[in-house]
Amino acid sequence: MAQVLHLLKGGDPALALATIAEQCGAGDRVVAVFGEGQVPCALPGGVTTRRLGHDLSYAQLLDLVFEADQVIAW
């Protein structure tokens, strides 16, 4: 089981959502981080959602980056 971090910066989330759903289905632990001021989109169940500047600092984001097996920026 991999730990995957998705950095969602805006734009069309269709590909990101499809990828996240596939990873969740494979049993991976998925964390999605939304940028400051960004409204989170609906994500599959089991995804941990964090918002930069709301419940996540830049220092905590850096920790998540180093803890993840894979980081994907969208």
The partner residues of 51 in beta bridges, in order of sequence, read 34
pLDDT at position 40 is 87
What is the residue-level pLDDT of the chain in tens, covering all 74 positions? 899 999 999 888 999 999 999 999 999 999 999 999 888 889 999 999 999 999 999 999 999 999 999 999 99
Output the six-digit token pair for 4. Answer: 């995957």
Q: CB-based burial of residue 12 (10 Å sphere; 0-12 exposed, 13-18 middle, 19+ buried)?
A: exposed
pLDDT at position 39 is 83
User: Positive or negative CA dihedral for 57, 63, 68, 74?
Assistant: positive
Q: Answer whether 0.85 is exceeded by the pTM.
A: yes
**Among 45, 38, 48, 44, which residue's Cα sits nearest to residue 8?**
38
